[in-house]
Each structure stands twice: as C-alpha cells, then as structure tokens.
Amino acid sequence: MLMSCGRNQRYSSRRELLARAGYGLGAAALAALCGGTASAEEAKRPFPNFAPNARRVIFLFQSGGPSHLDLFDHKPELKSRFDQDIPPSVFGGQRVTGMVAQQSRFPIVPTRYNFRQHGQSGMWFSDLLPHTAKVADDICLIRSMHTEAINHDPAITFLQTGSQLPGRPCMGAWIDYGLGTENENLPAFVVLNSLPANGMPDQGLLSRLWGAGFLPSRHQGVQFRSGADPVLHLSNPAGLSREQRRTQLDALAALNRRAYERAGDPEIETRIAQYEMAFRMQASVPELVDTSKEPDHVYKLYGEAARQPGSFAANCLLARRLAERNVRFIQLYHRGWDHHGGLTEKLPALARDTDQASAGLLLDLKQRGMLRDTLVIWGGEFGRTVYGQGAIKPDSYGRDHHGRVFSLWMAGGGVKPGYVHGASDDFGFNVAQDGVHVHDLQATILHLLGIDHTKLTYRFQGRQFRLTDVHGSVVQSIVA
C-alpha cells in the first residue's frame, strides 16, 4: 500500500488508488509530493517489463498523408512511365476512395523532385528534405508501412488508437497508463498542435486522438497551446496574484482537511494534493514554455520559424524542453499534407515547415545526450497514390490517399540509426519486403519503452483490451 502522506492507508488496492488519483502520478512523484520516498510496492510496478531503450517519445505526426513518393521512396524507374496505366497485377484489389471513383483510369505520375543519397548510410531523400537528409545517419527509415484505412479519420484513429473507430485510448494514454509520470509538476502526456506556415490546413483533428478512451480520463493528453494560457485556465485572473492565490489555497486546504476529518473520505486528500500540483503547474508550465532564454545557436538548429509561437518549429523546441523535464509522451500534430490536387504547389511549403525543425530536434537532442533514450517518430496516417488524381502533368499533379504502403521514420530511443527497413514494390504501391503494419509499429514503440504490448491491457466491459488489439509483432530488426 502506498498513498498520500502516510496518514491514509485506506485504498482497497493499488488499482483503486490509481484509478482515483490524479495524473498517473507515479509513486515517486507522490512520495516526493509528501516528502517521502517510493514504497517497495510501487517498485514492483508491472511496467516496464524489461529494460527500456527509450524513456520518452516525441511523435511528430504529419496529418493528412505525406507523399512517400515525393519525399522518401525513390522510384527512378517510374520516370519513363508518366501517364501509363498501373499494371492490374500491381493495382490488385485497391479500395479506391470516392474521390477518384469516377476516374476511368489511374495513370502513373512519377515524382517531379530529385532524389539523392545522403550520409554514410546512403539513404535516399528527395531534395525537399535537405535538413532531414543531413541527419540520415541518425534515422531509421521504414519504407514498408501499411494500414487498412483509406480515409483520414479512420486512418489517424487507427494509428493513434489501434482501431479505426472511435472509443479506444490513444497511444500516449496507454503509455501514461502503463508507465506513469516522472515529473510531478507536469502532465505525463502533452499535445502540441501547429498550423502550416502557409495557408490553411485541410483535414480536422479530433481531441479523441489524444483522448483516454475507456481508460480513466486523467490519462488523456493535455494540450499545450501557444498564447497567454499555455494550459487551459492555467493563469490566475487579472487582479489575483500568486501570493494571494497561495493564501486562498491555504485556506481551501485547511477547510478541505476539516472535511476529511469529518467524512474520512480519502478522495479529499487526493483533491488537496491535486490543488497543490495545480499550483506548482502554474509556475512550472510558464517556465517551460518560455523559450526566450534559448540561445541563438539553438534557434539556428530549429530555424527562425521557431521564434514564431505555435509554429511546428517552435513546438519542436518545446518538445525538447518537455523531454528534458521527463514528460513521457510528447505528441505534435502538423496538418496540411492532404494533397489531392496541387501537390506540387503545396508540398514544398509543408516540407519547409517541418524539415529543418525535425532535423534540428534530432541534433539538439543528440548534442544533449538525450537522443539515446528519446524516441522520435515522424510520419502520417498513410501515404499517397502513385497514380494521379484529376488532371496530371509531369510537373503538376495531385495524389489520392494510399494505405497499402508508405514511409515513416524514427530516430533515437533504441532504433538502428542510418538504417532502412523494408521496401515497396517498383511502383511504390504495395509492400515488397518486410511490411510493417500499424499494429507492428505500435508494438515496436511499446517494446522500445520496455513494454510487452501483449501485457499492457485494460479490462473494459468484460474483456481485456490492448493498443494492438490481438495483433502486432515487434519489428526486431529495427531495434538497435
């Protein structure tokens, strides 16, 4: 048994306690809160199951479906096939979306961008990603991702929750549930949304993507926002100083303690502790999001856009600061990759938004020695079709959603650097080798955190659920 400040030893079980307490406050944090140390019981926490490679995750999610064919997956032999039909044997049973269902044919459009090899590893990148190319030797590129979903909502929901339909907890919530927090002043799971620098985003996000599903709702991600109130309702109102707040909270705590003495309900003690944590967050969060003291050489890494609050680059910098404070799961969303038409106009700008900042984040983590135990993931919910959508020209085209193969990269946190896993076929259409299904990716991420994905379960409505459902196998060959 453990719990708050020694006085109250009344939870029927550790599970009950955790189900009622605040954030997945680990015992260490709770103990620290109360000026004690973690109990022996807590040391027996079931996760991690084995020594983890990664202690935290930064997921740079690219919502909308970045085109693997124009960024990562080099198919030089397509150059000569402009406007040719895809061989039926390749097309197979493709489920086409309603957006191209009227097309009488599905003509190939090779990428208009040049690809080059980079680094010791000789990894191929298109010229749209010059900065990422420079960190090729830190990257583990998966060119054989695949998913069943063909539309945004189900595909993003699938990647984040393991199910295409709403209702399941997202990856960050699962990990928070499994591992708890290592920082008593900050939530364990933080979400940062950014808008594309140029133009409007297209597809919507959903707060369920960082929701807790059927897990207790405290495991949901806390959205950090750009602007005055980085966490909703964090700031005291005008006319109420921090000292006054302290005075008020002292009185509140004294009154709540009297209620506890009267009613004996341990929930009251938890509430007292949560008000204290709220008070600490009022100091720790503004300190965290204040990047003004970051030196210029850091901004050089992420790019000047990092000075623009709410930009992807600024959020990458924040992600590093969160990682430094041992926030467990840091989820970034960048939107605008849904290039059905005008891909050639929009993609370069999107690549610019993310390229330097993502590479900068890797470099920054690396030079701080944090890349070793921080897993960085870059990718979206699916790729895009090799066939064009609508009118096509060699230098102007659009592409539809494509889930049968796409690319995603990871770095740090125990994955093999400078390594390419899997391959698509000659058309970038199907997996040719070593396919990685969404559930495999999830299993691997959990594995890197020291969690056996088959053991991270939660009982809901009479059955045991897990992130990977009854599927998924760890992609051992990318683990360093």
Partner 1 sequence: MIGPLLRRLRTVTCLLVTFATAAFAKLEYGRDVRPILAENCFHCHGQDSSKRMAGLRLDTVAGATALRNGKAALVPGKPQESGIYLRITAEQKALRMPPVHSNRTLTEVQIATLKQWIAEGGEYSRHWAFVPPTRPAAPQTPWGKQPFDGFVWQKLRAEKLQPQKEVAARTWLRRAALDLTGLPPTPAELDGFERDAARRGDAAYEAAADRLLATPAYGERMAMEWLDVARYADTHGFNNDASRSMWRWRDWVIDAFNGNMPYDRFLTEQLAGDLLPKPTLDQRIATGYGRNHVINSEGGIIDEEYRVEYVADRVRTLGMSWLGLTLECARCHDHKYDPVTQKDYYRFYAFFNNVPEIGEDGRVANAVPFLPAPTKEQQKRFAELEARMAALQSKLQEEERSYRWKASHQARVTAMAAAAKPPGETVLHLPCEAAGTPEGIALVPGIGTACRLEKPTDNTMLGPMPISRRQPLTFSLWLRPTAADRDAPLLSASDYSHNRAATVFGSGIDIRLVDGELELRFGDRFPAYSMRVRSSGARVTAGEWHHVALTYAGASPKDNRAQASWVRMFADGREVPVTILNDGAGLPEAKNDKPAQRRFRIGWDNYPQGNRYAGELDEVAAWSKQLTPADIRAVFEAYALPYTLKNPNHPWLRQAALRATNKRFAQTEKALEQTQAEWLALRRETPTVMVMEEMAPGRTTHVLQRGAYNAPGEKVEPGVPEALLGAWPAGAPRNRLGLAQWLTSPNHPLTARVVVNRFWQQLFGQGLVRTSENLGLQGESPTHPEVLDWLSREFIDSGWNVKGLLRRLVLSATYRQDSAAPPNLIARDPANLLLARGPRFRLPAELIRDQALAVAGLLSQRVGGPSVYPYQPPDLYKGIVVAADYPGTSWTESKDADRHRRSLYTFWKRTVPHPTMAVFDAPDREFCIVRRSTTNTPLQALTLLNDPIYLEAARRFAERMVEQGGPTPESRLAFGFRLATGRAPDEDELHLLSKAWNQMAASYEADQQKASALVSGKASASELAAYTVVANLILNLDEVVTKG
Task: Give the containing element (helix H, strand E) for 420.
Answer: strand 419-421
The yes or no reply on residue 259 touching partner 1 (CB under 8 A) is: yes
The yes or no reply on residue 242 touching partner 1 (CB under 8 A) is: no
Residue 146 corresponds to which tokens in the numbers above?
């695949």
The residues with which 189 forms a beta bridge, in sequence order, are: 329
Residues of this chain, 8-67, that bind partner 1 according to CB under 8 A: 9-12, 16, 19-23
The yes or no reply on residue 297 touching partner 1 (CB under 8 A) is: no
User: Could you give the CA distance from residue 410 to residue 53 in angstroms, rounded to a whole number?
Assistant: 13
Residues of this chain, 334-363, that bind partner 1 according to CB under 8 A: 335
- Draw the binding track, 74-93, toward partner 1 (x: CB under 8 A; -: no contact): ------------------xx
The residues, ordered by sequence, that sit 6+ positions from 357 with a Cβ below 8 Å of its Cβ are 302, 303, 305, 306, 311, 312, 313, 316, 317
User: Could you give the CA distance from residue 60 to residue 99 in angstroms, rounded to a whole number?
Assistant: 27
User: Could you give the CA distance from residue 326 to residue 26 in angstroms, rounded to a whole number?
Assistant: 13
The yes or no reply on residue 236 touching partner 1 (CB under 8 A) is: yes
User: Could you give the CA distance from residue 431 to residue 407 in angstroms, rounded to a whole number?
Assistant: 11
Least distance (Å) between residue 177 CB and partner 1: 12
Binding segment for partner 1 (CB under 8 A), chosen from 52-60, 106-114, 250-258, 322-330, is: 250-258
Residues of this chain, 428-447, that bind partner 1 according to CB under 8 A: 439
The residues with which 308 forms a beta bridge, in sequence order, are: none
Task: Give the containing element (helix H, strand E) for 431.
Answer: strand 431-433
Binding segment for partner 1 (CB under 8 A), chosen from 300-308, 320-328, 442-450, 454-462, is: 454-462
Least distance (Å) between residue 350 CB and partner 1: 14
Least distance (Å) between residue 438 CB and partner 1: 9
The yes or no reply on residue 266 touching partner 1 (CB under 8 A) is: yes
Least distance (Å) between residue 329 CB and partner 1: 16
The yes or no reply on residue 283 touching partner 1 (CB under 8 A) is: no
How many residues make contact with partner 1 (CB under 8 A)? 110
Neighbours of 446 (CB within 10 A): 30
The yes or no reply on residue 149 touching partner 1 (CB under 8 A) is: yes
The yes or no reply on residue 153 touching partner 1 (CB under 8 A) is: yes
Least distance (Å) between residue 313 CB and partner 1: 15
- Draw the binding track, 158-197, toward partner 1 (x: CB under 8 A; -: no contact): x---xxxxxx-------------------------xxx--
User: Could you give the CA distance from residue 82 to residue 85 in angstroms, rounded to a whole number?
Assistant: 9
The residues, ordered by sequence, that sit 6+ positions from 400 with a Cβ below 8 Å of its Cβ are 96, 97, 99, 100, 340, 384, 385, 387, 389
The yes or no reply on residue 235 touching partner 1 (CB under 8 A) is: yes
Least distance (Å) between residue 53 CB and partner 1: 27
CB distance 21 to 15 below 8 Å: no
Least distance (Å) between residue 340 CB and partner 1: 9
- Of the candidate residues 46, 122, 204, 394, the single one contacting partner 1 (CB under 8 A): 204
The number of helix segments (H) and strand segments (E) in the chain equals 14, 17
